Amino acid sequence: MRSLATQLRQAGEVYAAALLEHPERTPLWRYSRATADFFKGASLPHYDGGRLYPCGPSFSASTPLAVKPEFSFTWSLETEKLRLTRLLQTPPVAAPTCA
């Protein structure tokens, strides 16, 4: 049986896969490796001389990956994109409501 990290990598989810690989390493090491793997394959937009993120637009919002690095909160997860990889087989969860 293939590991979840292997399945994620084969589905193109390189950032998520790198976060799960090498569980014996520190979280900082795994986060750094995942970020490096993400940027190795990232399609960076043409720089037109404008402001850079976090002041300007974030290019990672347009990436097709379900799990990706985010400047302000370490990483983000889009469950619908992950569901499309067929690695997440749980039904959609309704958004929580405030009482």
Token pair 């997440």 is found at 88
* pLDDT at residue number 39: 86
Q: What percent of the chain has pLDDT over 90?
A: 16
Q: What is the pTM of this model?
A: 0.67
Reported as half-sphere exposure (CB side, CA atoms, 13 A), residue 91 has a value of 1
Reduced to 3 states (helix: H, G, I; strand: E, B; else coil), residue 70 is strand
Tell me the range of 22-36, 60-74, 84-98 where mean pLDDT is highest.
22-36
Domain boundaries, the chain: 4-43+51-84
Cα pseudo-dihedral 26, 31, 37, 38, rounded to 10: 170
Of 42, 35, 33, 25, the closest CA to residue 75 belongs to 35
Determine the distance from the C-alpha atom of residue 86 to the mean position of all C-alpha atoms in its chain, rounded to a whole number. Answer: 16
